[in-house]
Structure 1
Amino acid sequence: MPHKSCCCLPDSSYSFQDLVNVMAQDQAQSSSQSNTMRLLLQASAGPTAPAPVRVVAVDVMRGIVMSLMLIVDVCGKVVPSIGHAPWHGFHLADIVMPGFIFVVGASVSLASRPSITRVISRCTKLILLGILIQGRWIPQIGSLSFGLDLYSFRAPGILQRIAVCYAAGVFLRKLVLDVGDNATLTGAIKNHSRVLAVGLGCIVLHWAIMLLGPQPEGCPLGSLTPECNTAGYIDRLVFGDHHMYNPMWDPEGLLSTLPTLATVSLGLTCGQLVKAQPSPRETTQLVFCGILLAVLGAGLGTFIPVNKALWTPSYCILTGGICVSALGILSGGIAEKLVSVPFKWLGMNAILFFCLSDCSGLFSCLLGSVYWADPITGNVLYVVSRGYTLPSVMLTYTLLQLGLWVAVCRELFNKRIFVTV
């Protein structure tokens, strides 16, 4: 009688290799089913947005601009060459606002694509925060003034302009930079050329309005004085002279916001370049292009005044070139050096640093609260100022304040706490 195998055991005619092959086929089938299920789930969830890219050079540049802002705000009152130029001209403080706008463009280029709701929400928060700070809803320590004077609060401002430039940068990226072929060099150059062309168009349109637009009564066409210029005239019509930085003009006014889109477009383009981790040769080319732009802007200044308040074409091109060169230098490896680390800490908590440094009464209160015997003549703030000339006092005060905020931002960085809006 022939032998019958048990039903629970494989037939003895199967070899061990046959069993291995069967198991491999089962595993492959299971893996295929798993991959199919994963693809179906991804399809049902919709396309995922690419994760934002963090470029150290951009963070460091943001921190440097923030530090310059603090230095020129405090020391500019006693050192004229550090503070803003009275009208025409270019001083150290006049690079701060273009630096802000340029970094906004670069950051938009590196970030994931935000939704329309997110853009509106962020812009609204920035505008409200700017009005709160300018309206003294965030009070000075030791001051009894607190509240928002609806009659005289300043409507335009730094954060308000940043909000507008952020929104413009997002839509410029969405409608121009992200449209078309970015996978090939030719397509990328074409898209970046469109972005820069939009920026150039904004400069030309703004300057045409400045030369041909309406002027206050009795002022000649195309006048560029503080009392007679189209930008100030439009701001007075829209805001009223009691809601402006100056009764005659506002450096963050409506019309002068138009050419800032050229600075945003430069930031968008340079952000894409540094995102690709450029080679040393490419960073050198970026620095060289920035120098050429700066020289072009300075040369244009012999025909068109360099003016920050009006954001004239010469000023826009000059400061844009400086920003491009600065980012190129930082992208060449300096941003990775130890000396740049404090600026990275500041740059990654920029909005917090902006609010803290603007409320400088807090730092004065901290210094004045530490004293030796006599709280009036023995406090740290008084001792620091004794025996020094006024510029030295202000510089010492500024460096101490900057050191405090660096320490705060360092602690937040170590705890991975980043304040955003």
Structure 2
Amino acid sequence: MEGNPRRVEEGLGHTPPVHEDRDGFHEKEGIANDEDRIFDNEKEERIAEGDHSVEEKGEERPLVKPKSKRVATLDAFRGLTVVIMILVDDAGGSYARIDHSPWNGCTLADFVMPFFLFIVGVAIALALKKIPKMQIAIKKIMIRTLKLLFWGILLQGGYSHAPDDLSYGVDMKHIRWCGILQRIAVVYMIVALIEVVTTKLRPIVLDHPGHLSIFTAYKYQWIGGFIAFFVYMVTTYTLYVPDWSFVVYNDHKLTRYTVKCAMRGHLGPACNAVGYVDREVWGINHLYSSPVWQRLKACTLSSPNSGPPRENAPYWCRAPFEPEGLLSTISAILSGTIGIHYGHVLIHIKAHSERLKHWGSMGLGLLIIAIILHFTDAIPINKQLYSFSYVCFTAGAAGIVFSGFYVLIDVWGWRTPFLFLEWIGMNAMLVFVLGAEGILAGFVNGWYYKSPDNTLVHWIKTHVFINVWGSERLGTLLYVIFAEITFWAVVAGILHKLDIYWKL
């Protein structure tokens, strides 16, 4: 992972939505879930189906809450994303085809971050549907953003070395300022603030909800997305990228390399504007030191797997690169904008068929745009650059998957097979920190016998999975499925029954 020995690039849990209560906001939520009850459960079900009369009548919450019948797709989709994150994070080293694409292209791992940003947008739309007190809302958003930034720097800045390295601490000259949580924090803040400050400029109820009316009612959200798109595209294709250099420490020896650029609009690893902006803003020592481009054929004979560098590999193969940097995060705002649009559809369109028609057509349209841009080489799909075609492709896929989940879970009522995804989605932050970031495994590894390598985690992985199946690749995959994903599903289910969630 980026930021520590485990690859954190896969993304993390859902950005905490903000929820209404009688005072305007409900603090009990966080990345944990939508179990925070944006509204009382009976009222929420009626609103989700398009009945807004309960708001106009100003009904009070009942003292005893009935059993929740909320839109379960939200939690299940988030849980699915967390499961994929764990799978590609811990099994991607054995199965490179599901790990991040070294540069252009899109693999299973590359869907995780935009899927989370998509569901962040959906949750924000529901949570901020009605804002009685704008100042309180803005304060809550900013506090939550700061919390996410703090946890992101703590977990991904290099301070934590879990789970394999039992040491901790980071040299402030090399701390990594960017990361998954930091990107989610920025996207959440921008999208949520636009939703809050425009609350009096949009209708609560649409008289004739349809495709165009929802776009026009929430035009300021799309204007914000267009501004992000414009800034990203203009900077990417017009910013002059000069030559740059970096230093590599090897065997206590310092070697300086210089990468020749002097160009504009380049979309390759060495001379793109995304990397240049991060080198200038953060400083090259504060970028991620093991970018996935090291698995390119130009860099290693083991491609697409990780391996020793080629003897005559280009200098940039050894250079750092920030996949969650500033310019690419500006582009990522579009993922949140598309997600919030799906949430607006959920609020204003009553019929299942009409919701699905809107979601499906938009998802399919985004996929078509992305495929055309990619295969005509106009704008390749690229996660590291967070290219526009990548935004369209992953947001379109998120919309299609979200629609499929909605049909299975909320329309057909097939909720039981997906309960484990709901449980994980309700405690996504906890699973990310303790599971994906390896904090729990690091704690267990702290109790070793004779040698730091002789731990319970290592013994289970080796003797229960790898040795039994006689294959390190298959054993690793089964370990991830049963000792990590299944384990955290059970833990999340127990915590759900106890009504315990991680709150930010």
TM tier, smaller: 0.7 to 0.9
Aligned pairs for 1:329-368 within 5 A: 329-334=404-409, 336=413, 337-360=415-438, 362-363=440-441
Name the structure 2 match of 1:255: 327
Alignment CA distance shift 1:76-1:379 (3 Å): closer
Q: Encode CA deviations 1:351-371: one digit per residue, 9 max, x unaligned.
A: 111101233364487599899
Q: Work out which of the two has the higher radius of gyration on C-alpha atoms and give 1 or 2.
A: 1
Please tell me the residue identity of whatever aligns with 2:123: S
Distance 1:146 1:241 in 2: 22
Partner residue of 1:109 out of 110, 125, 128:
125
Name the structure 2 match of 1:394: 476
Q: Encode CA deviations 1:375-419: one digit per residue, 9 max, x unaligned.
A: 789943221111432321221111121111111111110011111
Name the structure 2 match of 1:381: 461
User: Contact 1:290 / 1:322 at 8 angstroms: preserved in 2?
Assistant: yes
Name the structure 1 match of 2:389: 314
Please tell me the residue identity of whatever aligns with 1:317: C
Identical amino acids, percent of aligned pairs: 28
Distance 2:339 2:325 in 1: 21
Alignment CA distance shift 1:291-1:362 (3 Å): same
Alignment CA distance shift 1:325-1:197 (3 Å): farther
Distance 2:276 2:122 in 1: 32
Q: How many residues align?
A: 373
User: Contact 1:182 / 1:188 at 8 angstroms: preserved in 2?
Assistant: no
Could you tell me which runs of 5 or more consecutive residues in structure 1 were left unpaired when the two chains were aligned.
Answer: 1-46
Q: Secondary structure at the match of 2:97?
A: coil
Please tell me the residue identity of whatever aligns with 2:116: F
1:72 aligns with 2:60: no
Q: Secondary structure at the match of 1:226?
A: coil
User: Contact 2:157 / 2:177 at 8 angstroms: preserved in 1?
Assistant: no
Name the structure 2 match of 1:83: 99
Name the structure 2 match of 1:244: 287
Name the structure 2 match of 1:328: 403
Partner residue of 2:362 out of 284, 289, 292:
289
User: Contact 1:342 / 1:410 at 8 angstroms: preserved in 2?
Assistant: yes
Distance 2:232 2:164 in 1: 43
Distance 2:383 2:390 in 1: 6
Name the structure 1 match of 2:43: none
Distance 1:328 1:154 in 2: 37
Aligned pairs for 1:60-209 within 5 A: 60-112=76-128, 113=131, 115-141=137-163, 143-176=165-198, 179-184=201-206, 185=208, 188-209=214-235
Partner residue of 1:267 out of 339, 342, 356:
339
User: Contact 1:206 / 1:256 at 8 angstroms: preserved in 2?
Assistant: yes
Q: Secondary structure at the match of 1:115?
A: helix
Deviates most, 324-333 or 228-237:
324-333
User: Contact 2:433 / 2:439 at 8 angstroms: preserved in 1?
Assistant: no
Distance 1:330 1:211 in 2: 38
Q: Encode CA deviations 1:26-66: one digit per residue, 9 max, x unaligned.
A: xxxxxxxxxxxxxxxxxxxxx85387255311111111111
Alignment CA distance shift 1:160-1:368 (3 Å): closer
Alignment CA distance shift 1:331-1:370 (3 Å): farther
Relative CO higher for 1 or 2, CA cutoff 8 Å, sep ≥ 6? 2
Distance 1:283 1:363 in 2: 42
Alignment CA distance shift 1:402-1:299 (3 Å): same
Q: State the superposition RMSD in angstroms.
A: 2.8
Aligned-pair CA distance for 1:192 = 3.1
Aligned-pair CA distance for 1:194 = 4.0
Alignment CA distance shift 1:314-1:161 (3 Å): same
User: Contact 2:461 / 2:475 at 8 angstroms: preserved in 1?
Assistant: no
Aligned pairs for 1:206-225 within 5 A: 206-217=232-243, 218-225=261-268
Partner residue of 1:234 out of 272, 277, 290:
277
Deviates most, 361-370 or 332-341:
361-370
Aligned-pair CA distance for 1:136 = 4.7
Q: Secondary structure at the match of 1:250?
A: coil
Aligned-pair CA distance for 1:110 = 1.2
Deviates most, 252-261 or 276-285:
276-285
User: Contact 1:370 / 1:380 at 8 angstroms: preserved in 2?
Assistant: no
TM (norm. structure 2) is 0.68
Please tell me the residue identity of whatever aligns with 2:403: G
Please tell me the residue identity of whatever aligns with 1:153: I
Structure with greater helix percent: 1
